[in-house]
Amino acid sequence: MRPKVMITYKQYHIERFEHEPKRWVARITRTDGQNIRTILPATELPYLETKPTASAAEAEALAKEGIDFGGVV
C-alpha cells in the first residue's frame, strides 16, 4: 500500500490513498474540522469520499470537482 497524500484545496483537505490495489479514493474534510454539508441530498458528515478511481490524480480531480461544482458547503 502506498502512503497517503494530503493537500489543501480552498477550505478543504483532500487525502488520497490506495484503498485496494490500483483503486484510489480521495477523502474530503474541512480544514476547520467542522462537518461537511451537502445540498443534494441534504446531509452533514465529518468527511466525504470519492468513488474509487484508477489513479491518485483521478481521485484528486473528482474531489476538486465535488468541491467546486458538487454542492459541498
Among candidates 39, 29, 34, 33, which has minimal Cα distance to 9?
29
pLDDT tens for residues 9-67? 999 999 999 988 889 999 999 999 999 998 878 889 999 999 999 999 999 999 999 99
Rounded to whole angstroms, the Cα distance separating 45 from 14 reads 15
Residue 2: its pLDDT value, please? 62
* Domain with 51 in it: 5-69
Mean pLDDT of 1-7: 73
Residue showing cell 483532500: 14
For the question of whether the overall pTM of this predicted structure is more than 0.75, the answer is: yes
Domain count, the chain: 1
Residue 69: its pLDDT value, please? 85
Mean pLDDT of 63-73: 83
